[in-house]
Amino acid sequence: MEWIKAILLVLAIFGVIGVSEILRKIFQFDPEVTRKVIHIAVGVFVFPAPLIFKSSLPVILIALFFIVLNFLSLKLKVFKGMDSVERQTYGTVYYPLAFLILVIAFWNSYPAIISISMLILALGDAFAAIVGESVKNPKLYNLTGDRKSVQGSLSMFITSFLVVLTFLILTDNSKLWWGDVLNLPVEKIILISLLTALFVSVVEGIGSYGFDNLFIPLGSAFMLHLLVVADKLNQSLLAFSLAVLIAVVSYRLKFLSLSGSVGTFLLAVIIFSVGGWKWTIPILAFFVLSSIISKMGRKRREKFDLIFEKTSTRDIYQVLANGGVAGLIALIYHFYPRELLYYVYLASVSAATFDTWATEIGTLFLSKPRLITNLKPVEPGVSGGVSLKGTLGGLIGSIFIFLSATIWIKWSLFKLVSVVLAGFIGSFVDSLLGATIQAQYKCNVCSKITEKVFHCGEVTDLIHGKVWINNDFVNFVCTTSGALAGLIIMIV
């Protein structure tokens, strides 16, 4: 019967796709319309999967089947009513991929998380798009590439809130859905619903290129596990309050752009909700002190704005490049709490600090850097350039990061050296990539070497490295290398 049910589910999904395709051709519907119909219908079909199937194996195989099928359809343009949108994305692939991850993670423990998360994606994300496109004079914003509307985001919030609220009320006493009886008071259910809806609405707001189909259900699952299973509602309320404060103040002080503020909000919610002040203080120290240093000697460093790809006002990509790995480690720690992960986390923040302070201090004091690959003198600000003053600045920054955590950990010289050395290794990798494969351009007007694609109002020429390897990518590799180095050092 399990396999018969699986076949029927697959046929039902194919039926929706087929009918949508026929109606699109007959009535000349916009492909976006049929895509939303399929988006909602598939989510509704998989929503009761934990009730229909006893084993997760058929469900996992169905998810894998549609991952492959949707990828091939996207490449071969088989289902135009599902794939033909304004621009090609892999959203139809991310949809079953998200479902697969949720099934593997929660099938045997908390099936409610699977169902709620997929229903939020099916209804909330679709209604956000429908409302955003149907209202007159929508208030548009663009954080990462796709245009979104305030009205659409509000629709996402309301729909997500109602989905979580309704499901929690109906399943509060169900061991089948939650593995135990919850007995949550009404006010707690409302707060859980509000925080989950707010978090996934922000995730939807930054979602572009189809990634919202992956991160909306995963973000929903994280919040539900955090608030319902781990019972960290009070800590999360403080986390949301702190995250809003940091994001707003940083935006007003021009430490962050609008997108950077949104990215910082999400990271702050994740890190504080999971680890409290113990995890928050080190990365907060990095952010605040680095932002202050970047504003110091601003006029002296104005000429470097012509070289650096980004300014001192950080956008979301800079925020994620420096703090994304730390946030990911916090997420892993939430599900697999191991003290070792805290030191890996510190190592990642140490690498971001070492690299940032080395650059800021080096340019602030106008050091004479040398290229890391051959030690030949280069102009200050050139990718891959290192200096004694900059290195000392990075060293001091990494020490500050370790000291910010000593109130919660037992101090030892080995731990200090491990965190600082991991930071140095991450920064070394950053400089090495900057000197070898990071994209560098030459201005056709002033002949300067720069990281910018546009300079002096003209398109620059690529003279070194790969186009897709920019400063944000290199910074992400830096923090990843620092984390891996910290893990290896602590284990060995």
pTM, two decimal places: 0.90
* Angstrom distance (rounded) from CA 75 to CA 72: 5
pLDDT recorded at residue 152:
93
pLDDT recorded at residue 80:
58
Q: Which of 259, 29, 44 is nearest to 148 (CA)?
A: 259
pLDDT recorded at residue 263:
95
DSSP 9-75: HHHHHHHHHHHHHHHHHHHT--HHHHHHHHHHHHHHHHTTHHHH-S-SHHHHHHHHHHHHHHHHHHH
What pLDDT digit, counting tens, does each position of 404-416 carry? 999 999 889 999 9
pLDDT recorded at residue 429:
96
φ/ψ of residue 404, rounded to 5: -65, -15
pLDDT recorded at residue 146:
86
pLDDT recorded at residue 300:
56
Which residues does 414 contact at the CB level (< 8 Å), separation at least 6? Answer: none
**Spatial contact of 191 and 237, defined as CB atoms under 8 Å apart:** yes
pLDDT recorded at residue 349:
97
* Angstrom distance (rounded) from CA 289 to CA 293: 6
Tell the burial category of 352 from Cβ atoms under 10 Å away from its Cβ (0-12, 13-18, 19+): buried
Low-confidence ranges of the chain (pLDDT < 70): 24, 27-33, 78-88, 297-312, 366
What pLDDT digit, counting tens, does each position of 98-142 carry? 999 999 999 999 999 999 999 999 999 888 888 888 888 889 999
Domain positions in the chain are 2-231, 288-491
How far is residue 144 from each of residues 204, 246, 258, 259, 409, measured CA to CA in Å?
A: 11, 20, 10, 7, 38
